[in-house]
């Protein structure tokens, strides 16, 4: 397998390769960043608590949530709910955050994050901030969040298990979970990838050949992108392999994705 390279100036031609082994140039998101990005996307929440009856049995229920800036999930739950009564007796819990799977898709290929910790009712002095965080993730709660029998609960996260689909999994520390942030262009990535593949196939091939060093490539398609770089699938006589190249600078808006894409093409042309 090719040895991943560190960051190099955009426009520098990579070492020529004819192997389909992955070529990784620049920075990739950490698993903590991937987990925070996943949690901010199109997901569903499932809460696990310790049952009162039968005592000690795992009890699982649907749990819409929001996430505060510090990474703490905020729940809005009724005093009549079984999981609330469980938490009143034992605050230990876990929250599974899983990507919504489209019909016909493989659920095990989807990403998910399991947060383990303890839950407690949010204090009055923090209620407004917690309410805003919950509503940002679950706007449907707007009509009941102020009902007298509903309370906001915060989960203090002690452990995080991230699974990014097949072959990517790790434990993430609470410190990294709390300090990381969702990728700012995750919501724009799909449209940008579709545009690149539909209208700029020749440019993607040039980037793979020159910046990525896959000199044997005959086609290249965009697989994904994030704040740090662009992922391509380069295909040639020896096979297909991933090529990751960095943006000139981190991107945070669709306009910056466009500018960075143009810069990559111009640099590849200059270096070819």
- Cβ(214)–Cβ(272) below 8 Å: no
CA 272 – CA 265 distance, rounded (Å):
10
- Report the Cα 65 to chain-centroid distance in Å: 16
What b/e string do you get for 117-135 counting C-beta neighbours within 10 Å, with b at 16 or more?
bebebbeeeeeeebbebbb
* Fold adopted by 23-29+185-271: Split barrel-like (3.20.180)
Mean pLDDT of the chain: 93
3-state helix, strand, coil in the chain (%, to 5): 30, 30, 35
CA 104 – CA 236 distance, rounded (Å):
30
pLDDT tens digits, 208-249: 999 999 999 999 999 999 999 999 999 999 999 999 999 999
Q: In this structure, how many other beta carbons lie within 10 angstroms of the beta carbon of residue 255? A: 10
CA 28 – CA 255 distance, rounded (Å):
21
Q: Which part of the chain is CATH 2.30.110.10?
A: 32-179
| Tokens 């209208």 -> residue | 199
CA 30 – CA 28 distance, rounded (Å):
6
Return the pLDDT at 13. 63
Q: Which two tokens stand for residue 15?
A: 């070492």
CA 160 – CA 13 distance, rounded (Å):
39
- Report the Cα 31 to chain-centroid distance in Å: 8
Of 28, 35, 67, 45, whose CA–CA distance to 180 is shortest? 35
Return the pLDDT at 20. 83
Lowest-pLDDT choice from 12-16, 18-22, 27-31, 146-150: 12-16
| pLDDT, average across residues 130-157 | 97
Q: Which strands form 219-225's sheet, in the order they lie side by side?
A: 23-24, 239-246, 229-236, 219-225
Helix ranges, the chain (H):
31-39, 82-89, 127-137, 174-179, 186-199, 201-210, 254-271
Percent of the chain clearing pLDDT 90 (strictly above): 90
CA 217 – CA 238 distance, rounded (Å):
9
pTM: 0.89
146: pLDDT strictly greater than 60 = yes
Q: Which part of the chain is CATH 3.20.180.10?
A: 23-29+185-271
Return the pLDDT at 10. 52
Lowest-pLDDT choice from 9-18, 75-84, 129-138, 139-148: 9-18
1: pLDDT strictly greater than 80 = no
* Fold adopted by 32-179: Pnp Oxidase; Chain A (2.30.110)
């Amino acid at each position: 397998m090719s040895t991943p390279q560190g960051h190099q100036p955009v426009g520098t031609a990579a070492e020529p390769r004819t192997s389909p082994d992955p070529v990784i140039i620049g920075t990739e998101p950490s698993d903590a960043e991937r987990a925070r990005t996943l949690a901010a996307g199109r997901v569903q929440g499932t809460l696990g608590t310790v049952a009162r009856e039968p005592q000690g049995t795992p009890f699982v229920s649907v749990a819409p949530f929001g996430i505060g800036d510090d990474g703490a999930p905020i729940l809005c739950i009724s005093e009549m709910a079984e999981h609330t009564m469980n938490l009143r007796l034992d605050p230990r819990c876990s929250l599974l955050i899983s990507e919504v799977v489209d019909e016909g898709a493989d659920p095990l290929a989807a990403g998910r994050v399991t947060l383990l910790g303890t839950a407690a009712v949010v204090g009055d002095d923090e209620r407004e901030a917690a309410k805003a965080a919950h509503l940002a993730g679950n706007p449907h709660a707007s009509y009941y969040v102020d009902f007298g029998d509903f309370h906001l609960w915060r989960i203090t996260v002690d452990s995080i298990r991230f699974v990014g689909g097949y072959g990517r999994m790790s434990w993430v520390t609470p410190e990294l979970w709390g300090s990381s942030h969702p990728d700012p262009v995750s919501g724009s990535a799909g449209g940008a990838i579709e545009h690149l593949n539909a209208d700029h196939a020749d440019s993607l091939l040039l980037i793979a050949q020159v910046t990525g060093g896959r000199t044997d490539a005959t086609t290249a398609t965009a697989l994904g992108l994030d704040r740090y770089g662009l992922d391509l699938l380069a295909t040639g006589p020896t096979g297909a392999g991933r090529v990751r190249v960095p943006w000139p600078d981190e991107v945070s808006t669709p306009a910056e994705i466009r500018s960075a894409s143009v810069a990559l093409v111009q640099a590849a042309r200059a270096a070819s």
